[in-house]
Structure 1
């Protein structure tokens, strides 16, 4: 909602009410903006000391290898990693709330997906999870896989979806990332063998900081909220459903629009 221009033909009888509502909306907008700035600034300020703390813990673990202190330092590092992850997600969410863009109207989705899978392969290996990337081509056409959307935002969305799947999938499970390629659109689907989500909570998990009651991972409850923001900005849809063939979850972003891999004004492909 936005304030009404009083220059418009407003009846005299309701002009005071319109003025009061305009003032309320203006103050609400300022409060929301102040909250966003605070979250972004706080997350930014926390990132550096948390990273330094993690390095100090790692040094301390190397210098004190006794059994008693080893488990303590391991727990400290795990909790620090969780705090760093939360800060990174808060920064991502603040960026999407601000609707900023890196100026690139298109993104190479195949390259982004490959990079995300490569970056998170270490996390998957720690839990002995089989992490894979698959391209499902429904039509035969160009090999180009560029889509309309901010590259940084799409990368953040993919990272959060795959990271979520790995965190909530038990040891020895499987996570598949699928790019379903159609004539005009591309769908991204992340399928895991985790516990899934109770049907009554499937809508609520989109809310910020909400975590399903049956989960025991170390997530922050922000990953799906970030993905929803990015999907909406790209005029796509985020679908969350439990698998029908076995236990697990399927999260899909459908309707990402395919575009040419040639920038306007360019004479050859980028």
Structure 2
């Protein structure tokens, strides 16, 4: 089943508003263009009417040439023809080769003359007919040229409005972006309610709901942590007593029952280790106290962790050492760093075959101190790697373990705002590269 695609609210708002502005701009541009064309056409009609009226009332008709040269008039100009009663041919004309229809209705008409469309204004008086004509093509070119000028403001303004929309939406959602970062920073070690200061009224109920959820989650995790700690603490005492009783009974066990008795002792020890891990996990999940933090020399922690597992490594012939030991410091509780590192080293020893090799290194990069533990064990199936930090998860059930070691590492790393990763080696050898990183201090 495919997951629904998560879309940005900011992008949706910007896109919707830009589309709306564009549609309004296009409609406004088309309307302005059409109105400008209509206005230009009306202005040209008024020009034709004024020319005809002045030609008649001012007596300028007689001033027109009687025999003008054919085709001498520019095609963009208006053409004049004067008719008089009793004369079948034009009395005066600016172009005799243009046979305007004398029988045209008074006022404006459109006619096809000499294969072209013409706009004609006809003024009929008792003794004279005055016609003023202009090519429709010329009129259209003039109207469109003037109308296009009305589109330039819209062409320039629409992109500017797009930019303004982007800036306004980004500014309006900046507060939500900050809240999103605060929500992402919330984990089991950092519960902080979101501030409602400066939050828009429409978003305030949503923020209050998140704060309520954070409060309930914190209470639930605290109850779980307290239960684990109390249960582990209560179980540790009877298990310790049981271990002592088993040790006291060891000399009195019949030879035929020795194997079963050793299995019993092994089970008691496993239970003890499980309880110890549960207590460490509860402590790792507990809120951190600032007064317990110190400047920790990571190299010393590495040396102590190696020294602790060295007897086991020597017994199994495992070569354990450090390749790169950069001097680095972190601000933390040294016990926490030690527990996290010992869990990684113990895992490496546990999964490395006899005669194998485990290398540790310290590096400083990207503002973090990284501790890497590399083994040459069998590695982990890639499909199981995303689950290795889950509680009680064991990648290899044939090897003894509680399934809590890496969970404790993850809890400690999260407590200090660090990172933890586990990956298979990519240098041609089998094995695991376990890395933990903590914020570096000078």
Q: Normalization by structure 2: what TM-score?
A: 0.50
The residue aligned with 2:300 is 111
1:157-202 per-position Cα deviation (integer Å, ceiling 9, x unaligned): 0111111122223344332323346796532111222221101111
The residue aligned with 1:267 is none
The residue aligned with 1:46 is 235
The residue aligned with 1:149 is 332
CA 52–178 in structure 1, closer or farther in 2 if over 3 Å, else same: farther
* Preserved CA contact (<8 Å) 1:193 1:247: yes
Q: Distance in 2 between matches of 1:5 and 1:254?
A: 30
* Preserved CA contact (<8 Å) 1:195 1:215: no
What is the aligned counterpart of 1:222 among 400, 404, 421?
Answer: 404
CA 147–220 in structure 1, closer or farther in 2 if over 3 Å, else same: same
Q: Distance in 1 between matches of 2:342 and 2:203?
A: 54
* Preserved CA contact (<8 Å) 1:175 1:192: yes
Show the 5 A alignment for 1:95-110: 95-101=283-289, 103-110=292-299
Q: Distance in 2 between matches of 1:235 and 1:24?
A: 22
* 1:136 Cα deviation from its structure 2 partner: 0.9
Q: Secondary structure at the match of 1:136?
A: strand
Q: Does 1:233 align with 2:415?
A: yes
* Preserved CA contact (<8 Å) 1:192 1:248: yes
CA 255–31 in structure 1, closer or farther in 2 if over 3 Å, else same: closer
The residue aligned with 1:56 is 245
* Preserved CA contact (<8 Å) 1:107 1:146: yes
Q: Does 1:179 align with 2:367?
A: no
The residue aligned with 1:201 is 384
1:113-136 per-position Cα deviation (integer Å, ceiling 9, x unaligned): 22222222344345x141523151
The residue aligned with 1:34 is 223
- Which of the pair has more CA radius of gyration? 2
Q: Secondary structure at the match of 2:263?
A: helix
* Preserved CA contact (<8 Å) 2:391 2:407: yes
Q: Distance in 2 between matches of 1:4 and 1:231?
A: 23
Q: Distance in 1 between matches of 2:343 and 2:358?
A: 13
Q: Secondary structure at the match of 1:99?
A: coil
The residue aligned with 1:164 is 347
Gaps of 5+ in 1: 139-143, 260-270
The residue aligned with 2:261 is 73
The residue aligned with 1:265 is none
The residue aligned with 2:4 is none
* Preserved CA contact (<8 Å) 1:40 1:91: yes
Q: Distance in 1 between matches of 2:351 and 2:220?
A: 35
Q: Secondary structure at the match of 1:211?
A: coil
Q: Normalization by structure 1: what TM-score?
A: 0.78
Q: Secondary structure at the match of 1:94?
A: helix
Q: Distance in 2 between matches of 1:94 and 1:255?
A: 20
Q: Secondary structure at the match of 1:209?
A: coil
What is the aligned counterpart of 1:242 among 415, 424, 439?
Answer: 424
Pairs aligned (count): 250
Q: Distance in 2 between matches of 1:94 and 1:130?
A: 32
Q: Secondary structure at the match of 1:200?
A: coil
Q: Secondary structure at the match of 1:206?
A: coil
The residue aligned with 1:84 is 272
